[in-house]
Every structure is written in C-alpha cells, then in structure tokens.
Structure 1
C-alpha cells in the first residue's frame, strides 16, 4: 500500500500556529520515549520468566555477568527479587508514559481543532458581503463547529496515532527480532498482510462514505437552521413533519455511512485476534516439537505472547487511523477550502482613523450588477449627498433601494463608475475607514441573546459600555421609559433574536444602537415600518432633531415617514427617476392625497 501525503494535510499543517507546531515537536519526543519504554518493559519479560522457570540458566548467562558483579549476586536465588522489581517498575513506567502520551495527544489535537475553528471563522467573517449572500450560512456554521471537530477525530488524531503506533511497532519489532528472527518475522508479515487485505477491500467504501458524511452534515445543519429559524411559521402552518422528514432524509444516510465506516475500521481486530491465537498455538506446537518440551521455550513463548499483546493493538490502531483518514478525507477537503480563503477585508484599511467627511458624498455614473449576471441592479446612478442632508428614498420593491444602500455603506463596490467623498475617489482600501462613518438601522433588527445594554452597544466589551450613553440613546429612540419600567432595566435579557420584545421595541433598540455608534451618516432602511403611526411620528421628530451635522438617509414606503427630508429620491428599475424638494407643490399634493 502506497503511503502518499495528502495535499490537504500540508494545508492543514501550514495553518497550524507556530507555537502549536512546537508542541507537536515535544509530542514526537514523547512518542520516542514511549516506544523505548515499551521495549524495555517487553525485554524485562524474558529474564523475569527465566528467573521463575530456570534461574540457573539466567544466572550463568554471559550477558548477565556484569549485573552479577555490580550487584554482588552470589546465587541464582538472589536474582528473584531484583528481576521481579525491575519487571514491575518497567511495566509501570511504560504504562505511565502511555497515559501521559494519550493525555497530551488528546489535549493537543483538540486545541488544534480550536485553532482551525477560529481560523475558519476569521476567514469567513472577513469575506466580502457578496460572498456571504452567495453562500448558505449553514455551510459555514457546519464547518466551524461540526467539521472542525471531525477534522480532529478523523485527521489530526489519526495522523498522530499512525505516527506513534508505526514508530512503536518498529522499535518493538526490531527488539523482538533479536530473540527469534524467524518466528517474529513470520508473525509480523502474516498480520500485516491480513490488515493490507482488509485495507484494499475497504478503501473504496470508506472514501464513498466520506463524501456522503461531508455532504449530509451540511444538509443537517441547514435543515435545523431552517426549522428553528422559522419556528413561528412552522407551528402556525403545522409543518413540523415536513422539516422532520427533511432532517431524517439527511440524517439516515449520514448515520449509515458513519456506522459502516466505523465497522470497517474496527472489525479487522477480531479476525486478526482469532487468527493470532491459531498462529500462537502453531508456534507453541512448533517449539514443543523442536525442543522436545515447552519448559525450555516458556520464556520465549511468554515474550511472544506479551509482544503480541502489545503489537496487535498497535497494528489495529495503525489500521484504524488509516481508515479514519479515509473517512474524514471529504470533510478535511471542505475545511481546508475555508482555511485557504483569502481574507478580502482584513488589512485593507491602511489607517484606524475614520475617513474624513466634511462636505459631500457623491455617486458618479455608478452601475452595479451581481457577479455572473448581466442585469444591472443599479444603472448610471448620479447622486450627491451633502453633509447634514436629510435624504428620503422611495420606490417599489425590487427597484434597487437596498442595493443603493449597500453601495453607500461600502458593502458592495460599483461595477462601473466611481464614488467620491469630499472630492476624493473612494478606493477599496479606504472602505473600512468610510464605514466608520456609517450606522445602519434595518427593517429586521439583529439582536443577540444578551442584555439591552449589550445590544445597544453591540460589539463593545461589557466592561467598556458607557451606560450613560446607552440611556441617552434609548431616550432619543423613545424606549427609555419602557426600559426603566423593567425590573433589571438595561440588564434585562432580550432573548434569542429579541423574542422577548415587541417588533417596535426591537426597532427602537436598533435605532438606539445606531445613535450609540456616534456615526456621521445614519441609514434607516424602513426602520420604522413596524411602528404604529403615532409612535413613528414621535420617533421621526426625535430623529430630525438630531445634530444638524448628521446626515440621514431614510428609505420608507410611507411618504409621511420622510415628510421632513430635504430631498426625496424615487427609484425605479435601478435608476433615480425623480428628485423632489419638500417645498414642491407636487410632493405636497401627494402628501395631501395620502392624508
């Protein structure tokens, strides 16, 4: 069987932190110590059995002369206690080293799994916005949580075990060959051939099941996210069985593949053990015929038995590790793809400072279309926004409003045309600096399962949150009265996705969050759509009273929402079709009709 280093292993190794690689070097040294400890404990068997069955032979053996003189042994009876103690100590030391090796292997491999998970999460978070909307988040979540753990189980630990068991096997085999080359070599070759036969027969199914497991694991994560994410509709529409059946359709092949690979990994052990007993009985018979009695061969048979007791599990570990590597091959490939993702946002910002915005933001002949499409979502947009402007944007669904906001926020970049900030072209490397000026209040507010204050100051460490500022922002968002009525105030937990709050309350927290950021440009993407007319009117009055240096961009369906904007832009089919001043009679007439 050819031993080929998988390219994915190299990618994995290259993405392991340098301090972790040093720890693996220490692990290799420990494996070497463990191997020689095994040999010493094994070598102690022969003199121990000899001192029990034929102490005179041991006492008179040439190789024992040095020890007799050094320890002043007078008769063969003097050997019993020290040889027994040496055998016991060597066995205990070898066992302790094995235990410590196991502990270090598990700790190191799982910490490496943590490094991998963190690296994937970092790479994914620093992808472009377009990359995120083109991929299902369940794929990323599955790789970060489940697949990273499975890389530990099916790649890292098997590689360590394969190296460790191979080295230990080599050392034990080399030591045992000196006792009886023919018997040891014949036993070893026979067992290895058996495992090679199993490996050849299992390889194809192991790889096929590996692909099934990798694919279905992502599907399982996706199904769970869909079911729990839309639990209100699931209960309302009584579609629990639909999601359950979808889950089962992925879980069943995943479990079957997992079970089959586990069986193919572990089953050879029992065949080989049964065959090993037959071989051992054959050797005992051979030695009995050769020497005329088993008494003289007992030390050799004892050493063989102990060697087999040590070697068979080691060979099984080697085979099992190989099988696990095949099982985890597809999963490892998925993980390494994410490990090698280029961080498209990371380090693009040449400065930590906010980009200066003192005069105007302008879109010049800007068009945008999504990758691999021909349809322009934005077409030749000409738009200038002065600092301190209150801008209203209206338009039908699909007219390009959201894409325009994504462009202004720097989440996407023009396919053609360019953007200027204070007369300077906004290049990609300055996008992060520009985004420091932006605060966004979407229609659906993202809330974490934490306190109100943590949600208002999202992304800020708890100990660094300015509670006075939180209260001021809540007051401007007209939510402070409600928060003060709660028993725990701003420490009140909002629940998963803000489930403990009403829709309007969630929107107000989103607005308070935008205010807390102290940005230069506030973008409201239908942020008040969940509020009743009276509350919305009151809230908009508060927003319009904000510092006049703040630039407000408000997307809304209701004209009353943007009634006090300086300008209104109406979008249609990706173009700005009309620009109305609030002083124009046209807009007054439209508002009159609405009333």
Structure 2
C-alpha cells in the first residue's frame, strides 16, 4: 500500500540518533494518550453521581472513598469529584499541549538538520557533478522540498501516530463498556474516513507529484528571467515569462488546494453521521433499558468519547491525506541524501599550503560522459615556475577542461596530475588548492564590500587591508574602487550589478593576486579589458612570474604574444607548444587563428 511506502521512506531519511529520539517521542505520545483517555473517562463517574447521588453509597469504591476522606454530605463529595475531574482534564490537556510542542520542536530541528546535510553534501560533491547538474534543482531541494517534507509530511506523520494512540485507547475503553456499541462507533467513524481515503488516494498522489514538479519549474522560470533580464528586456519577453509562471503556479496551487480540501471537507459529513448515530443510540437505550437513569452516564461517556474521537479521527485522516499527497517528496529526499559522498578527513583551513613549483600532466585523458569522446585525450604537459603560459585553441578544443584538470577539479579517467613530483590524490588536493589562484571568464561577485570580494573566503579578522590595496593596484582596479562612494567599503551589489564587465574582471584578478598563490590560472582575463588595461595586466603578470606558474586561457593576440610559452589545443589534444614566433612560423593552424583574431 502506498501509505506504508511513504512511511518507510520517512523513517529511512532519519539517521540513527534521530530515530532514537523519534521512538522516544512515540512513547511520550502513548503516555499523553493515556492521560487524555483518563481525562475523558473521569466525566462518566461524575455524571453518574450527579444524576443519582445514591450511587455514592451503593458503589463499593465510591463508598470507601466517601468514608476514608471523611465527607459529611453527598454535595461535598460531588463538588470534590467535579474538581478532581477538572484537574484530570486540565492535566491531560497540558500533557497534550506539551506533546504538540515537542513534535513541532522535533520537526524544526529535523528540518534544520536535513537542510544542512543537503547543502553540505551538495557543496562537497565533486566539481563534475556541479558542472553537469542543474543548480535550480539543488536550490529547490534545500529551500523548498525539505521544508515541504517537514511541514507537509513529517509533522502530519507525527500527528498521525500521536492521534492513533488516542483513538485506539478510546475505542479500547468503549469496548470494555459496551463491545457492540464500540464496534458500531468505530465502524461508522473509521469506515467513513477509510472509504473517503481509498476513493481519493490516487488523486492525492497525482496532485502531490504536480506540486513537486511545480516547485522545480517555478525555480527554473524565476532564475531564467532574472539572470537573463537583459535579454528579456531587449526581446520584450516579459509577457512570455509572466504567462509561463502563471500557468505553472496556478496548476501547483490548485493541486495544493485539492490536497488541503481533501483533508478538511469530509469531516462535515462524518460529524453529521456520527452525531446522528449518538441520537439514535439515545433513543435505542431509552427503549431497551429498564432504568432510564442509567442511560445518562452511558450516553455522556459516548458523547464525550465521540467529541474527542471525531477530531482525533479527522486529524488521522487529514494526516494520511497529507502523507499521500506529499509522499513523493520523501522518496526524492531519501534518494538525494542517501547517495554516498566522501567528506575530507581534515579541515582544509587547518592544512598548510603546498607551494607549487612544477605541475605535470602525464598522458591525461578525461571524458564528461562514458559514451562521449574524450574532452582531453592523452595530454602530457609540463608547467614550471617563472613562466607565463597561454592556452589557446578554437572553441571546444578542450582548453577550459584542461585548465580544470590542472586545478585538480576534474578526476582523470587515466593518466596522472603531478605537483612537485608528487601524484595528486584526494588527500593532497586541499593543500594544493590553497596555493591556487583562479580568475573565471564570468567573475563571481559577492553582494558585499570590495574588501570582502578581494579577500574572498577570509574571516574579517584576518583580512589584510594593505594586501587588498596592493592586489587592486596590480590589477589596475584601485583607481575606480577609490572613486566609488565608500571606496573599499562600497557594496558591489548582487553579482556585481554595479560594475562594468572590465571592472568585474579586475576585481576577479585582484582576488587571485591577494591569495599570494603559486599557480595562477586566468580564463580569458583580458576579454573585457581595453587595450591599455590588457597591456598593463600582462606587464603585471610578467613582473610576478618569477614566483609563480601563470596559465592564461586566451584568444587575444596581444596577451598571447606577451606569454613565454603557448600551448595550442586541437580536438582535446596538444597540437603545438612553443613561443609565439615559433608557432606562428611552424604551425599553420596557430597562424590562421592569430590572423583571424587580428583581422
């Protein structure tokens, strides 16, 4: 049955310590259910005494209590009985309130734990995973699907188990009082809800899947629209994106409304049936029982039991409806969070940096997919400190992939990455990366100050302002930064919206220079720079090269000409290595490429 599969998935998501706390919570639910049933049951004796005070002296237990506690009149006994019943009811409600608080607290802690686990597991996935997977799905899981799991699935699951204890204990008590009437009550209320659930369960599951799909599509539409806002504006695509959003959103909200209504609407019909059954029971008892006075206590207990049982059964049904409607999210989270992942054995921040003097690739081969041709095929390369290397080639030749391999981001299918004569392993990579500087083609800018952007990743207490200023000066960025309203403390806006393309690139270069790296990799660092800035940057890089290995991915002849060595990539392999003059003279492919760029 689908509902049991959902419960199995929920329990599979919980780790060992959380499962122990969950079962402890179930024990507390059971104790709370006993208190609630005792509170309800205490009304019966009180109603009996109130309707027939003589029972105080006719009942052995009541008579003993009357004499032992030293009551003088029946009125005194009745008043104390009323207070005793009230105290039991208050106590049962207090315990019930405590269990609700505990269940919500447990859910919130679990949600926080799952979100942290999901975020951490995604961050520690290898770079290839992030390069090939849709980031919208990752964001949706952490920000939407896990909260949905907690509030629309796990909390209803806790309510289901807690209310199930109450319902079973009430029905058990009624069985002792009158088995046939208890069975009738259970069949009327339970059967009505069961029939309703069986009728709706497939629709609930279908609408739950629509909600999951809606979350992913909404995330994708919003990301596309806001990230590509320039193109959206230029092509007047606002109506199209609004229409897409509206269609997906309305469909999802309608499904959410269906699940919510399916949990609420049946109670009105079932309440009418149940109270009608109590009225029929009253008439039957009056016609069949010899002493009409005995009918009142029995009816009062059944009425109170029904008063408690109806909302309890309604909550059970509502919880089961929610489990069916949102059950797909449990399977999704279980599959995402239970994937094996290797976390580093040491905190990378505590590792000593590995100075990089030489980087070698030995017959390196890498494919993004087992069935695709290698993006880098049998490449051997030797990079030494004191030189500026330019990695050139047509689009799709494997330049960026080769750079990612050198940075230790991609795991080779075959071959070796060697640094200072040591073959790089997962254990050595964190120390190696502490000496890397990387400037991407599309610079990632924090929504923060210039200082924190340049000293990216450094705690505020460890930021060296002199080094920040020096890095900005070397990147030819200090002048425009000082012209900003707050200088180094100026906020650059979300993803650097306040910067031009060239300014963004200079901030990225300053960030790489701030790290005092041994290996500096720059992906098209001059693509957004003017000729003067490009020349100054290349002069700066050449002045720094004595202590660095510098690798540029570039297509601009001026930058390439100022490099010491040029590595030409063609179809995933190296088709030439040498100085600008050597390749221009001997390699027809390189010559054509440079002539095309110049023209």
After TM superposition, the score normalised by the length of structure 1 is: 0.93
In the TM superposition, what are the counterparts of 1:244-255 in structure 2 within 5 Å? 244-255=242-253
Higher mean C-alpha deviation, range 268-277 or range 288-297: 288-297
Higher mean C-alpha deviation, range 542-551 or range 422-431: 422-431
Compared CA separation, residues 522 and 359, structure 1 to 2 (3 A): closer
Q: Quick one: which of 236, 239, 242 aligns to 1:241? A: 239
Where 1:382 maps in the other structure, the secondary structure is strand
Provide, for residues 145-177 of structure 1, a one-character-per-residue CA deviation record: whole Å limited to 9, x for no partner.
100011112321122112101111122222333
Compared CA separation, residues 66 and 483, structure 1 to 2 (3 A): farther
Counterpart in 1 of 2:532?
534
Moved over 6 A (4+): 348-351, 587-593
Unaligned runs of 5+ in 2: none
Counterpart in 2 of 1:210?
208
Higher mean C-alpha deviation, range 377-386 or range 172-181: 172-181
Where 1:152 maps in the other structure, the secondary structure is helix
In the TM superposition, what are the counterparts of 1:387-426 in structure 2 within 5 Å? 387-426=385-424
Q: Quick one: which of 140, 162, 165 aligns to 1:164? A: 162
Compared CA separation, residues 150 and 549, structure 1 to 2 (3 A): same
Counterpart in 2 of 1:497?
495
Compared CA separation, residues 450 and 58, structure 1 to 2 (3 A): farther
Q: Could you tell me whether the CA contact under 8 Å between 1:354 and 1:437 is conserved in 2?
A: no
Compared CA separation, residues 383 and 585, structure 1 to 2 (3 A): closer
Q: Find the aligned partners of 2:365 and 2:48 in 1 and give their Cα distance.
A: 90
Q: Find the aligned partners of 2:346 and 2:133 in 1 and give their Cα distance.
A: 22
Compared CA separation, residues 593 and 264, structure 1 to 2 (3 A): closer
By how many angstroms is 1:64 displaced? 0.9
Compared CA separation, residues 293 and 317, structure 1 to 2 (3 A): same
By how many angstroms is 1:446 displaced? 0.8
Compared CA separation, residues 356 and 110, structure 1 to 2 (3 A): closer
Q: Find the aligned partners of 1:130 and 1:41 in 2 and give their Cα distance.
A: 60
Q: Could you tell me whether the CA contact under 8 Å between 2:577 and 2:583 is conserved in 1?
A: no
Provide, for residues 465-520 of structure 1, a one-character-per-residue CA deviation record: whole Å limited to 9, x for no partner.
33333222222222223333334332221111111122222111111211222221
Counterpart in 1 of 2:541?
543
Provide, for residues 209-243 of structure 1, a one-character-per-residue CA deviation record: whole Å limited to 9, x for no partner.
22222222211111111111111211121101221
Q: How many residues align?
A: 592
Q: Quick one: which of 93, 96, 99 aligns to 2:97? A: 99
By how many angstroms is 1:294 displaced? 5.1
Counterpart in 1 of 2:465?
467
Q: Find the aligned partners of 2:33 and 2:343 in 1 and give their Cα distance.
A: 48
Counterpart in 2 of 1:111?
109
Q: Find the aligned partners of 2:75 and 2:105 in 1 and give their Cα distance.
A: 47
1:318 aligns with 2:316: yes
By how many angstroms is 1:348 displaced? 9.2
Where 1:55 maps in the other structure, the secondary structure is coil
In the TM superposition, what are the counterparts of 1:356-435 in structure 2 within 5 Å? 356-357=354-355, 359-435=357-433
Q: Quick one: which of 511, 516, 520 aligns to 2:514? A: 516
Provide, for residues 350-400 of structure 1, a one-character-per-residue CA deviation record: whole Å limited to 9, x for no partner.
996457455421122222222133322222222111122211122222221
Compared CA separation, residues 146 and 585, structure 1 to 2 (3 A): closer
Provide, for residues 193-216 of structure 1, a one-character-per-residue CA deviation record: whole Å limited to 9, x for no partner.
222211211222122222222222
Compared CA separation, residues 58 and 189, structure 1 to 2 (3 A): farther
Counterpart in 2 of 1:9?
10
In the TM superposition, what are the counterparts of 1:56-205 in structure 2 within 5 Å? 56-205=54-203
Q: Could you tell me whether the CA contact under 8 Å between 1:349 and 1:432 is conserved in 2?
A: no
By how many angstroms is 1:264 displaced? 2.1
By how many angstroms is 1:429 displaced? 4.2
Q: Find the aligned partners of 1:328 and 1:424 in 2 and give their Cα distance.
A: 51
Q: Could you tell me whether the CA contact under 8 Å between 2:3 and 2:320 is conserved in 1?
A: no
Q: Find the aligned partners of 1:428 and 1:303 in 2 and give their Cα distance.
A: 69
Q: Could you tell me whether the CA contact under 8 Å between 1:354 and 1:434 is conserved in 2?
A: no
Q: Find the aligned partners of 1:310 and 1:585 in 2 and give their Cα distance.
A: 88
In the TM superposition, what are the counterparts of 1:44-59 in structure 2 within 5 Å? 44-59=42-57
Where 2:446 maps in the other structure, the secondary structure is coil
Q: Could you tell me whether the CA contact under 8 Å between 2:407 and 2:436 is conserved in 1?
A: yes
Where 1:192 maps in the other structure, the secondary structure is helix
Q: Find the aligned partners of 2:343 and 2:530 in 1 and give their Cα distance.
A: 39
Compared CA separation, residues 110 and 497, structure 1 to 2 (3 A): same
Counterpart in 2 of 1:578?
576
Counterpart in 2 of 1:343?
341
Q: Find the aligned partners of 1:63 and 1:230 in 2 and give their Cα distance.
A: 80
Q: Quick one: which of 439, 442, 445 aligns to 1:441? A: 439
Higher mean C-alpha deviation, range 509-518 or range 519-528: 509-518
Q: Find the aligned partners of 2:2 and 2:306 in 1 and give their Cα distance.
A: 25
Q: Find the aligned partners of 1:562 and 1:345 in 2 and give their Cα distance.
A: 39
Higher mean C-alpha deviation, range 413-422 or range 343-352: 343-352
Where 1:545 maps in the other structure, the secondary structure is helix
Q: Find the aligned partners of 2:537 and 2:372 in 1 and give their Cα distance.
A: 41
Q: Find the aligned partners of 2:405 and 2:343 in 1 and give their Cα distance.
A: 16
By how many angstroms is 1:42 displaced? 0.6
Q: Find the aligned partners of 2:54 and 2:347 in 1 and give their Cα distance.
A: 82
Unaligned runs of 5+ in 1: none
Higher mean C-alpha deviation, range 359-368 or range 231-240: 359-368
By how many angstroms is 1:26 displaced? 4.6
By how many angstroms is 1:592 displaced? 14
Q: Quick one: which of 474, 477, 491 aligns to 1:476? A: 474
Where 1:450 maps in the other structure, the secondary structure is coil
Q: Could you tell me whether the CA contact under 8 Å between 1:47 and 1:58 is conserved in 2?
A: no
Q: Find the aligned partners of 2:356 and 2:191 in 1 and give their Cα distance.
A: 78
By how many angstroms is 1:3 displaced? 7.2
Higher mean C-alpha deviation, range 509-518 or range 244-253: 244-253
Where 2:90 maps in the other structure, the secondary structure is helix
Compared CA separation, residues 430 and 486, structure 1 to 2 (3 A): same
Where 1:412 maps in the other structure, the secondary structure is coil
Provide, for residues 255-310 of structure 1, a one-character-per-residue CA deviation record: whole Å limited to 9, x for no partner.
22222222222222122101001101111111111236754422221221111111
By how many angstroms is 1:102 displaced? 1.5
Q: Could you tell me whether the CA contact under 8 Å between 2:103 and 2:155 is conserved in 1?
A: yes
Q: Find the aligned partners of 1:545 and 1:538 in 2 and give their Cα distance.
A: 11
Provide, for residues 177-198 of structure 1, a one-character-per-residue CA deviation record: whole Å limited to 9, x for no partner.
3333332232112211222211
Q: Could you tell me whether the CA contact under 8 Å between 2:356 and 2:519 is conserved in 1?
A: no
